[in-house]
Structure 1
Amino acid sequence: MEEYLALPPLKRLAYRMYRNPLIMFGLGPSYVFLIKYRFNRKGAKMKERLNTYLINLGIAVVTGLLCWTIGWKTFLLVQGPVFLISSLFGVWLFYVQHQFEGTYFEKGDKWDHMNAALRGSSFYKLPKVLHWFTGNIGFHHIHHLSPRVPNYYLDRAHEENTMFQNVTPVTLLSSLRSLNFRIWDENRRKLMGFGYIKRFLIARKAKE
């Protein structure tokens, strides 16, 4: 929060716009998957660069073939809704698995791998059918603790280990509250909304 308050007004506005649900779950997914992931990150090694180039080439070839065989209008009518819906839910899953009530955040020497995995990423308790459709990614706390556990063993690892069951789950209903979380207050050690910042500033000004 202090970093946010130290920003100039235009950068604060940009951050508020970025955190707006309409942008984060509307324009955001399209930007991430259509534009951002089509380029390599700064300092990427050759293997990573080649991987990006090959994926881009594959997308271009498949898109071109489909547009040639069924027409570009039909392609957009079929692929457009599929892309928008799947990317929206993909971003939502990533969002709610890292920004939820009771999450963990530490800097430097205070950071702990075990706590970061089990408390800093959520157990998104979904109906069985949704766990299946999402490749068990709801067991995100286990994935962060040990990324080498294959997705089809995540539910089994959860059932067989008490330490994973002690994690407070995020449900479909409670996950909706994460839409109110905008910024981390290091004093209260919890995620807060922009309304809290306004009240914080008023209270601080009153003390001065």
Structure 2
Amino acid sequence: MDMNDTGKLSIQALRTSLKPFAKPELGPAVWQIANTFLPYFGLWGLLIYLLKSAVPYYLVFPLFIPAALLLVRIFIIFHDCAHSSFFASHRANTILGYVSGFLTFTPFAYWQRTHLVHHGSYANLDKRGVGDLWTLTVNEYRALSPAKRLAYRLYRNPFVFLGVGPGYSFLVTQRFSHKGDGKRERFSIMLTNVAIVLLIALAGLTMGFRIYLMIQVPIMLIAGAVGVWLFYVQHQFEGVYWAHQDDWDPVKAALDGSSYYKLPKVLQWFTGNIGQHHVHHVLPRIPNYRLQESYDATPAMQTVPPLTLLKSMGSLKLNLWDEERHKLVSFASLSG
């Protein structure tokens, strides 16, 4: 089988080629926990000390950036646990998933369900709306009233979906159960809320609420913006594949509907290799610490053109799916 000829490969063949890497390894998993959680808590300790020592906030603020990036890395671990791929043990994945969820303000079972729906519906125009950034087709947008068009434009504005959106999602919407949530999802929301309240109470008794908020809020907002941007650019970029259910092809969806976001090495480390998102969508059971290895060993994965950091900025202007041209287009293109 010629692994470079991806057009003739089935999704089963692609998964078979990656299956050797879908085996969690205890050593790398424990090391990733150590090199992620320990510096994160260490930065929290340093920030508390500096703020209690009356160091000016503007001098302290740069430290929020690595702390936020470490929280993104914690979320990647959380994400792996949702796929039961971080550890071999399902129980260990669940426990670490809940703990990571407490830190990221994300209920584990609730997010796990919506994310697994995303894996079955991404790049599918007939299954939009769960675990994704809502995207209208050109015709759907044109059929809206002026007020609803304005609302959609605001929703797709980067200052909203990268600024207001992450805070609203992580701090508000994930605090409540939603239609379709089962007993397990509702329990995870309740447990996460209780954990957050206890963490805030503990913070108030130790460092004080003011210092806690001065640290927690910027870290959450920065990490949330980075996380939403990663999720956005993984499925919304120039040349992305989307199709209706009848024409939806799992190979094209994985290789053309998911980006290979080639980041600088330091950002690749902070984001847990999630830029190799096409690999992840072919076989979600590969732990993040084996994604680079699986990419390097599998020629079919290397056929996907990389999306660079600079080139990805162009994705911000893509707001609508044009069904006639089979591509994402900008609002500005409608006036032509």
Q: Would you say same fold, with TM above 0.5?
A: yes
The answer to whether residue 214 in structure 2 is matched with residue 77 in structure 1 is yes
1:178 aligns with 315
The answer to whether residue 283 in structure 2 is matched with residue 146 in structure 1 is yes
Write out per-residue CA displacement over residues 157-181 of structure 1, whole angstroms, 9 at most, x where no aligned residue: 1111111100011111001101111
CA drift at 1:118: 1.2
2:147 aligns with 10
1:166 aligns with 303
Count of residues paired in the alignment: 199
CA drift at 1:116: 0.9
Gaps of at least 5 residues in structure 1 are: 200-208
1:101 aligns with 238
Determine helix, strand or coil for the equivalent of 1:176: helix
Write out per-residue CA displacement over residues 130-171 of structure 1, whole angstroms, 9 at most, x where no aligned residue: 111111111111111111111111111111111110001111
Structure 1 counterpart of 2:321, one-letter code: W
Gaps of at least 5 residues in structure 2 are: 1-137
Percent identity, please: 51
Structure 2 counterpart of 1:20, one-letter code: N
Mapping of residues 183-194 of structure 1, within 5 Å: 183-194=320-331
Structure 2 counterpart of 1:113, one-letter code: P
CA drift at 1:48: 1.3
Tell me the C-alpha RMSD between the 2 structures: 1.0
Determine helix, strand or coil for the equivalent of 1:77: helix
2:255 aligns with 118
Determine helix, strand or coil for the equivalent of 2:260: coil
Structure 1 counterpart of 2:285, one-letter code: R
| Cα distance in 2, alignment partners of residues 100 and 162 from structure 1 | 23
| Cα distance in 1, alignment partners of residues 241 and 174 from structure 2 | 28
Determine helix, strand or coil for the equivalent of 2:177: coil
| Cα distance in 2, alignment partners of residues 170 and 195 from structure 1 | 23
| Cα distance in 2, alignment partners of residues 112 and 63 from structure 1 | 46
The answer to whether residue 285 in structure 2 is matched with residue 134 in structure 1 is no
Write out per-residue CA displacement over residues 181-204 of structure 1, whole angstroms, 9 at most, x where no aligned residue: 1111111111111000122xxxxx
The answer to whether residue 167 in structure 2 is matched with residue 30 in structure 1 is yes
Q: Single out whichever of 97-106 and 125-134 deviates more from structure 2.
A: 125-134
CA drift at 1:107: 0.6
Moved over 2 A (4+): none
* Larger relative contact order (Cα-Cα within 8 Å, sequence gap ≥ 6): 2
| Cα distance in 1, alignment partners of residues 218 and 203 from structure 2 | 16
Structure 1 counterpart of 2:158, one-letter code: P
The answer to whether residue 176 in structure 2 is matched with residue 50 in structure 1 is no
| Cα distance in 2, alignment partners of residues 131 and 4 from structure 1 | 36
CA drift at 1:115: 1.0
TM-score w.r.t. the length of structure 1 is 0.93
Determine helix, strand or coil for the equivalent of 1:170: strand
CA drift at 1:112: 1.2
Write out per-residue CA displacement over residues 67-90 of structure 1, whole angstroms, 9 at most, x where no aligned residue: 221111111111122111111111
Determine helix, strand or coil for the equivalent of 1:187: coil
Structure 1 counterpart of 2:323, one-letter code: E
CA drift at 1:41: 2.8
